[in-house]
Structure 1
Amino acid sequence: MKYMDEYAEHYKDCAWVGFEELEKFMEEALIHAGVPAPDAKIIGDVLIESDKRGIDSHGIGRLKPIYIDRIDMGIMNPVTEIEVIKDKDATAVLDAHNGMGHVAGYKAMEMAIEKAKKYGLGMVVVRNSNHYGIAGYFATMATKAGMLGITGTNARPSIAPTNGVENMLGTNPLTFGLPTDEEFPFVLDCATSVTQRGKIEVYGRAGKALPAGWVLDHEGKTRTDTQQVLEDLTTGKAALTPLGGIGEVTGGYKGFGYATVVEILSAALQDGAWMKALNGFDDEHKAIPYPLGHFFIAIDPEHFMGLDTFKRIAGSICRELRASKLAPGEDYIFTAGEKEYLSYQFRKEHGCPVPPSLQKVMVTLRDRFKMNYSWDFEKK
């Protein structure tokens, strides 16, 4: 398969660190930063799952700048105190009180799954949370329980509305996990923008220019200068384009619409914050918390025609899609979740790739917290 032939070449400048060591390092760093050990284990599991699946934007690359730095700044609570605001038969509303989003997400999806076992469907929403890692982690919590999982979250404003240039909506993933009779579930985990900040950070670490059409400025022109874009996205001088791209001709209004759906479901059900209230800065441009909202839905197919029936049909649909006629020059059709499965198969043998920029971050955290780690990449 051409995809896997090119895979290792893509990471040729990286060091490779095993799953267990990398996860343990992240957990210990979080504990040193003030996160209770049980919560650090949850967070570490979410982060390493990202690196296992090849989602390099949301694993070790997010440990320091998104989590530890924000704890240091006092805008994120390392101890997550979850309050149950309302708990009904099939629904619940939680308040995370500015705690760790991964912990809030894990406990919310656990609740949704338990409710779905009894009632067929369960939905739990969260307010006053923080970045919760890859949305697909929570969707696959449901698939592992033999259920369908759906989740979404709002985020700091990044996307410009169609026909606009101001960053108003977050990258707002709308994520589905569906069990199949194959070795991996169908997991669609992607932003409602053409790309998201984490992927731009990956380009920045690699010193690469952005593809045209990902980002636009206040003149409505596309931007490709990666490092300046990262700064300008924070200050509002640049914005991401919604799925479909710039304008209506290529369907940008569709991504804009889906991003708005996620924004509403992440704020209106839980009486939470939205859009500009998630900027992370006050009027004097001082850093403040990002009171994000999430939603989690679990659906038990046993309350319909049964799990086996669902898995068989879902798997058959995926196989028929992959067996359809190829475009010239292509050798394979992927269904959602398959590339992540292939990445896991490769990485469980080789480890997770760590580029030079993240190697420096790991050394910095190790030295700061006086942790007992040494890596082969330091010997070069």
Structure 2
Amino acid sequence: MSSVYEDVVWVDFDLLEHFMVDVFKGVGVPEEDAKICANVLITSDKRGIDSHGIGRLKPIYIDRIREGIQKPVTEFEIVKESPTTAVVDGHDGMGHVIAYRSMKIAIEKARKFGMGMVAVRNSTHYGIAGYYPLMAIEEGMIGITGTNARPSIAPTFGVENMLGTNPLTFGMPTDEEFPFLLDCATSVAQRGKIEVYGRAGKEIPEGWVIGSDGKTRTDTQQILIDLNTGGAALVPLGGIGEETAGYKGYGYATVVEILSAALQGGSFLKMLTGIGDRGEKKPIRIGHFFIAINIEVFTSLEEFKKTTGDILRELRASRKAFGQERIYTAGEKEYLAWLERKDRGAPLNDVLRKQLVQLRNELKLDNYKFVWE
């Protein structure tokens, strides 16, 4: 991935976050909601996950609001509730806001009753999945989330994009400086990572995407078009076919699809294309689920954190393959990215810089005079 960081300018996180708040407000998002949305996006950039950060501000959120397929003002409705569960309808509002409030509910239920789960329907893209388990970790809990998405992944032995990238994300507190956070798509690579390569004008590696002939493709720009038209599909975790266990990624993606649709009466698979019968754009209406587990109802938080930390330390201390300098555990690379970036900011290439200047000019945010123009 280092090649995609050629010819970038590093920009202060606070500047970008404030800018995103003002952009969201400029298209009608209430201020408090705008702060949530911006914080989710900048958290992604801070953790080195550029596929889900400010690079998606315009093409995913602002453009969809302007196209009328996503509502800037979120109507958050709890349609069913029990002491430990809730079903939420997001009514095509801001996915970050819907997800933030839903995880808050799960955490409060877990605080009172040990566990909490919230299932969501009619939401929109909620940004980096790991943000929401991090909320639970901050409260000394285990956090779990998943979401379905536009069809991207082909089933094993298939070539049609049916399932979303469908991340299944777990977060757990440890006694180290960073938590355990497994946040990854159930495909070999997610659409957002391909977008990063596209903005950099680079071809993607082989094995990420297959064409309708079942062969791997690397032509990034055309792939981004064909993922929407059905001419290309993402490969499930494990790879093409069964030899490297692609059926496992396919199976986990299906688990996320079911939990993001069947509990809450939501949309699934081809219902999530965002394209109507006449080819018009329409709300995608994805679903999510959020689980919070109160560790203290099982054991002391300190004991859990110590045991979890011991497991991770032993894994990293195990024998390394020839030529390898270190072993990582989930969440460690993102922590290291933060240490590297905290004084540098986020990397913006020319394509992204032009997008931000365009948004500034269109919304008349004249107080932002970017030094990198």
Fold equivalence (TM over 0.5): yes
Match of 1:237 in 2: 231
Distance in 1, Cα, partners of 2:216 & 2:340? 35
Structure 1 unmatched ranges of 5 or more: 1-5
Distance in 2, Cα, partners of 1:349 & 1:365? 25
- Please, what is the CA RMSD of the aligned residues? 1.1
**How do 1:147-166 residues align onto structure 2 when only pairs under 5 Å count?**
147-166=141-160
Cα offsets for 1:190-245 (capped at 9, x unmatched): 00000011000001111111111111111111111000000000011100000001
Indicate yes or no: 2:184 matched with 1:184. no
Match of 1:111 among 93, 98, 105: 105
Distance in 2, Cα, partners of 1:33 & 1:15? 26
DSSP-derived class of the 1:57 partner: helix
Match of 2:266 in 1: 272
Letter matched to residue 22 of structure 1: L
**How many aligned positions are there?**
372
Indicate yes or no: 2:355 matched with 1:361. yes
Letter matched to residue 373 of structure 1: Y
Measured after TM superposition, the shift of residue 376 of structure 1 is 2.0
Distance in 2, Cα, partners of 1:376 & 1:15? 10
Match of 1:38 in 2: 32
Distance in 2, Cα, partners of 1:255 & 1:127? 23
Is the contact between residue 4 and residue 200 of structure 2 (CA under 8 Å) also seen in structure 1? no
Q: TM-score, normalised by structure 2?
A: 0.98
Letter matched to residue 38 of structure 1: E
**How do 1:107-256 residues align onto structure 2 when only pairs under 5 Å count?**
107-256=101-250
Match of 1:329 in 2: 323
DSSP-derived class of the 2:356 partner: helix
Letter matched to residue 264 of structure 2: Q
DSSP-derived class of the 1:281 partner: coil
Measured after TM superposition, the shift of residue 10 of structure 1 is 6.3
Match of 2:370 in 1: 375
Measured after TM superposition, the shift of residue 329 of structure 1 is 1.3
Q: TM-score, normalised by structure 1?
A: 0.97
Is the contact between residue 4 and residue 197 of structure 2 (CA under 8 Å) also seen in structure 1? no
Distance in 1, Cα, partners of 2:326 & 2:288? 35
Distance in 2, Cα, partners of 1:173 & 1:82? 23
Measured after TM superposition, the shift of residue 11 of structure 1 is 3.1
Distance in 1, Cα, partners of 2:95 & 2:302? 33
DSSP-derived class of the 2:329 partner: coil
DSSP-derived class of the 1:331 partner: coil
Match of 1:71 in 2: 65
Identity of matched residues, % = 64
After TM superposition, the runs of 4+ consecutive aligned structure 1 residues lying more than 2 A away are 9-12
**How do 1:310-321 residues align onto structure 2 when only pairs under 5 Å count?**
310-321=304-315
Structure 2 unmatched ranges of 5 or more: none
Distance in 1, Cα, partners of 2:35 & 2:118? 22
Cα offsets for 1:113-166 (capped at 9, x unmatched): 000011111001110000000000001000011000000000000000001111
